[in-house]
């Protein structure tokens, strides 16, 4: 997977950047107090700039001409009071003495974490949510990513209205002519990096997934052929290029969010992230908080560090955190061995008119001259014996799947079998390989190696069956999709939701087939980077259909209506094909049509985050940094995390019962009545009071109490999952419940 690779590239860059020849300066993000107390102001933004500049070192006397001088890179206005600047460690030390200084940290480098999708999600032309939302008309989705390939037909503005009057964004640099009524903004962070053109492909893919227009006959080597369209095809796109081949710096991400808030975006889509950190020092959490305050919904990828526990990123409760699952589509390939055994896998190589003859297999790890050869790293396949053979390559080692194929091809190999990691389970990847190649599970890979060990004359043949629809196991949680529980806030269930993120076809800057005759170029890739823009698109549709809904209301509508069963009507499975944990899928798989009419919503007024943050035991200063104002937690009635008015529950339960309240708002029929249904597994009792909620008006609010306690025969530890569901004759509003049973020494059996 490419994301793994980007992470590795970053790691290498990170190692090399410290003993830099030219400069001992690093980019720091510096947080300062609001200038109000410090200086009197007329023009706020002018004074902010000079206030920020007053923190920079004045004396640059000792710098010789070829040395870099300290300088301001970004001034932040919305996301925080502060700036990013090139500084030395000593200069930061000096700065700390100045009055008004709050905090400084070196910038972190974050990593970047279709046709079938829309009908799989139940979106149909001229009916339902697409009709009600007018395909997302009038809504602006801001995409922070690697830029955009503007000439792609997915970004044509045929049938697009001009941007709404509130739009203040623009197309920077020499890009103006490239913009149109679909692509209404394109900015670069930092500006010196030139053009918003996407030289990676990732940003083009995510933007078209969220809001690409209809393009007929989209496919890769004939695979996944159909009409490509984004989730919200009439929404506008504003591109903020924050990533290049080195990764995505959080100083630039903050600057992009800062500007996007003023530009007037409605949704922010971030398919990037790093590992968990407390919200006050997590740039995406900081920026997303300010965006949420301004009514912008922020949708983020959960990360590709699954299936390890507690690997979820972007976990603040004001963010929609999106995990990844499969479609019902497979792009099938088959390997036959000389002993007649057959293994199925996936590949986006030619679907038709192609099959390799039986040829010998080659396992580079058996004859390793280079330590990386089992990963088929570029230049590691030096053995002449590779020629004419199908090569077995392990996933990983810092090489992309496509690059491994290229290495095999360069070494004279005629085919490749990619063997997954054991933890990938049954999640396989269909890539647009440069030679006949396919991806198999670890288990099947080992069987193929066993066969090689069993005979000297080992041969195999790969054939391609192409696109097969109707996998009844779908949606299956992808092995790579990051898992909860959240580390930054255990009391909030994360990820919130899953959406399509495996083998997603969407726009790409170049032809994977080296076909220069077409502008209609697509690629199939996987990651929570792909599921995030699906949810950003769904949020745009809901925003268009319900312009008054807050970000929290949209999130609630998506979560309480999610599907919790697969196409076969069984429980949602994970990469092992066993029922997935609630920490893998949160509220479930997005169901856009149902989200359009949720009945009740759990709204979270922004002011509720204050007692929540104090309840996380952050210091006054830490809470103040997030909220950009002075906060005294001793004057705020702090609440436990699980008391936040959130559409799901994540409870850590000891011996004592815990009671929380929730408030729901009626957005269904004015006159309606809901009764509660509770399903809890063994060991935990859940009670709700009252058990009936009667509404007489629209937007009427009702509060209920829910109590969690252990039953007498409760086991000592483990995770128990259940849900509570409010049902009327037209709606069902479901909240998932995760209970982690704490070991209790005093409980005696």
- Answer for the pair 195, 150: CB distance below 8 angstroms, yes or no: no
Residue 345, class by beta-carbon neighbours within 10 Å (0-12 exposed, 13-18 middle, 19+ buried)? buried
Does residue number 350 form part of the binding site for ligand NAG (CB under 6 A)?
no
CB of 489 to ligand NAG, least distance (A): 7
Q: What does the alpha-carbon distance between residue 101 and residue 162 come to, in Å, rounded to a whole number?
A: 43
Nearer to ligand NAG, 7 or 614 (CB): 614
| Position 65 contacts ligand NAG (CB under 6 A) | no
589 noted as active-site residue:
no
* 119, 195, 275, 700: which one binds ligand NAG (CB under 6 A): 195
> Which of 53, 174, 699, 716 contacts ligand NAG by CB under 6 A?
174
Residue 219 touching ligand NAG (CB under 6 A): yes
If binding is defined by CB under 6 A, does position 623 make contact with ligand NAG?
no
- Asked about 458 being catalytic, the answer comes back as no
CB of 50 or CB of 174, closer to ligand NAG: 174
Q: Is 181 in the site for ligand NAG (CB under 6 A)?
A: no
- Phi/psi at 306 (nearest 5 deg)? -75, 170
Residue from 154, 208, 274, 529 carrying the catalytic annotation: 529
Measuring CA to CA, how many Å separate 644 from each of 143, 250, 271, 471, 500?
28, 28, 26, 38, 28
Q: Is 180 in the site for ligand NAG (CB under 6 A)?
A: no
Q: Which of 89, 127, 446, 696 binds ligand NAG (CB under 6 A)?
A: 446
Residue 707 as a binder of ligand NAG (CB under 6 A): the answer is: no
Query: What single DSSP character describes residue 7?
Result: H
Cα angle: 300, vertex 261, 176; to 5 degrees: 100
Which are the contacts of 315, defined by CB distance < 8 A and separation ≥ 6?
Answer: 276, 321, 484, 486, 487, 488, 489, 492, 494
Q: How many residues does the chain have?
A: 749
- The reply to whether 611 sits near ligand NAG by the rule CB under 6 A is no
- Residue span binding ligand NAG (CB under 6 A) among the ranges 44-52, 167-175, 549-557, 657-665: 167-175
CA distance 711 to 125: 50
Q: Single out the segment in contact with ligand NAG by CB under 6 A; choices: 18-26, 162-170, 311-319, 710-718.
A: 710-718
711 near ligand NAG, judged by CB under 6 A: yes
The answer to whether 408 touches 376, Cβ cutoff 8 Å, is yes
CA distance readout (Å), 469 to 19, 98, 459: 53, 63, 30
Position of tokens 């591109």? Answer: 239
Per CB under 6 A, 383 contacts ligand NAG? yes
87 burial (CB, 10 Å; 0-12 / 13-18 / 19+) is: buried
Q: How far is the CB of 305 from ligand NAG (least distance, A)?
A: 23
**N-terminal to C-terminal alpha carbon distance within the chain:** 48
Determine if 713 is a binding residue for ligand NAG (CB under 6 A): yes
Least separation in angstroms between residue 385's CB and ligand NAG is: 4
Are the CB atoms for 181 and 163 separated by under 8 Å? Answer: yes
Binding of residue 222 to ligand NAG (CB under 6 A): yes
Catalytic residue among 152, 202, 534, 731: 202
For position 443 contacting ligand NAG by CB under 6 A, the verdict is no
Q: Is 514 in the site for ligand NAG (CB under 6 A)?
A: yes
CB of 176 to ligand NAG, least distance (A): 9
Q: Angle CA(265)–CA(268)–CA(271) in degrees, nearest 5?
A: 150
Q: Is 529 a catalytic residue?
A: yes
Which of 50, 308, 617, 681 touches ligand NAG (CB under 6 A)?
A: 617
520, 218 contact by CB (below 8 A)? yes
Catalytic residue annotation:
145, 202, 529
Residues that bind ligand NAG (CB under 6 A): 173-175, 178, 194-195, 217, 219, 222, 225, 366-367, 383, 385, 406, 434, 446, 449-450, 453, 513-514, 616-617, 641, 682, 711-713
């Amino acid at each position: 997977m490419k994301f793994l690779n980007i992470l590795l590239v970053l790691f290498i860059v990170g190692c090399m950047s410290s003993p830099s020849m030219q400069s001992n300066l690093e980019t720091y993000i510096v947080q300062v107090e609001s200038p109000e107390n410090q200086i009197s102001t007329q023009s706020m933004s002018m004074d902010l700039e000079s206030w920020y500049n007053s923190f920079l070192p004045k004396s640059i006397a000792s710098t010789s001409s070829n040395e870099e001088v300290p300088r301001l890179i970004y001034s932040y206005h919305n996301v925080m009071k502060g700036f990013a600047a090139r500084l030395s460690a000593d200069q930061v030390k000096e700065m700390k003495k100045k009055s008004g200084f709050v905090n400084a940290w070196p910038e972190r480098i974050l990593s970047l974490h279709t046709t079938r999708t829309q009908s799989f999600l139940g979106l149909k032309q001229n009916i339902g949510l697409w009709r009600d939302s007018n395909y997302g008309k009038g809504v602006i989705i801001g995409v922070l990513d690697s830029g955009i390939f503007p000439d792609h037909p997915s970004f044509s503005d045929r049938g697009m209205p001009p941007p709404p009057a509130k739009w203040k964004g623009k197309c920077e640099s020499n890009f103006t002519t490239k913009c149109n009524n679909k692509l209404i903004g394109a900015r670069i962070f930092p500006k010196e990096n030139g053009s918003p053109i996407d030289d990676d492909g990732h940003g083009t893919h995510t933007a078209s997934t969220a809001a690409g227009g209809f393009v007929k006959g989209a496919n890769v080597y004939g695979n996944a052929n159909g009409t490509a369209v984004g989730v919200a095809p009439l929404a506008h796109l504003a591109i903020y290029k924050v990533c290049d081949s080195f990764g995505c710096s959080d100083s630039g991400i903050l600057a992009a969010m800062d500007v996007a808030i003023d530009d007037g975006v409605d949704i922010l889509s971030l398919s990037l992230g790093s590992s968990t950190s407390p919200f006050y020092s997590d740039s995406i959490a900081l920026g997303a908080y300010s965006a949420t305050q301004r009514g912008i919904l922020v949708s983020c990828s959960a990360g590709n560090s699954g299936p390890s526990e507690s690997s979820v990123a972007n976990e603040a409760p004001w963010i929609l955190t999106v995990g990844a699952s499969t479609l019902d589509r497979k792009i099938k390939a088959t390997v036959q061995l000389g002993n007649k055994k057959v293994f199925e896998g996936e590949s986006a190589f030619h679907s038709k008119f192609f099959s390799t003859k039986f040829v010998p297999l080659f396992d580079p790890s058996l004859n390793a001259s280079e330590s990386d050869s089992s990963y088929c790293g570029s230049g590691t396949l030096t053995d002449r014996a590779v020629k004419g053979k199908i090569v077995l390559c392990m996933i990983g080692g810092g090489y992309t799947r496509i690059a491994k194929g290229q290495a095999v091809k360069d070494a004279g190999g005629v085919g490749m079998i990619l063997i997954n990691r054991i933890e990938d389970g049954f999640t396989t990847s269909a890539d647009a390989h440069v030679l006949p190649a396919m991806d198999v599970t670890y288990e099947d890979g080992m069987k193929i190696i066993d066969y090689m060990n069993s005979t000297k004359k080992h041969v195999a043949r790969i054939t391609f069956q192409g696109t097969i629809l109707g996998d009844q196991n779908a949606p299956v949680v992808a092995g790579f999709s990051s898992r909860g529980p959240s580390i930054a806030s255990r009391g909030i269930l994360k990820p919130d939701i899953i959406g399509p993120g495996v083998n997603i076809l969407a726009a790409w800057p170049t032809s994977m087939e080296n076909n220069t005759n077409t502008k209609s170029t697509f690629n199939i890739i996987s990651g929570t980077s792909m599921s995030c823009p699906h949810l950003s698109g769904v949020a745009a549709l809901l925003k268009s259909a319900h312009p008054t809904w807050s970000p929290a209301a949209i999130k609630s509508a998506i979560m309480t209506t999610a599907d919790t069963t697969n196409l076969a009507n069984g429980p949602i499975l994970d990469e092992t094909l066993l029922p997935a944990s609630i920490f893998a899928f949160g509220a479930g798989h997005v169901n856009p049509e149902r989200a359009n009419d949720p009945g009740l919503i759990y709204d979270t007024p922004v002011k509720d985050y204050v007692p929540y943050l104090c309840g996380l035991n952050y210091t006054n200063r830490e809470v103040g940094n997030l909220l950009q104002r002075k906060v005294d937690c001793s004057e705020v009635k702090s609440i436990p995390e699980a008391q936040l008015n959130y559409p799901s529950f994540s409870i850590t339960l000891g011996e004592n019962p815990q009671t929380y309240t929730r408030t729901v708002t009626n957005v269904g029929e004015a006159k309606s009545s809901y009764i509660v249904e509770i399903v809890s597994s063994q060991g935990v009792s859940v009670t709700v009071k009252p058990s009936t909620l009667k509404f007489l008006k629209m937007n009427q609010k009702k509060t209920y109490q829910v109590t969690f306690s252990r039953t007498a025969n409760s086991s000592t530890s483990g995770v128990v999952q259940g849900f509570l569901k409010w049902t009327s004759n037209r709606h069902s509003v479901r909240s998932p419940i995760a209970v982690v049973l704490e070991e209790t020494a005093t409980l005696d059996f």
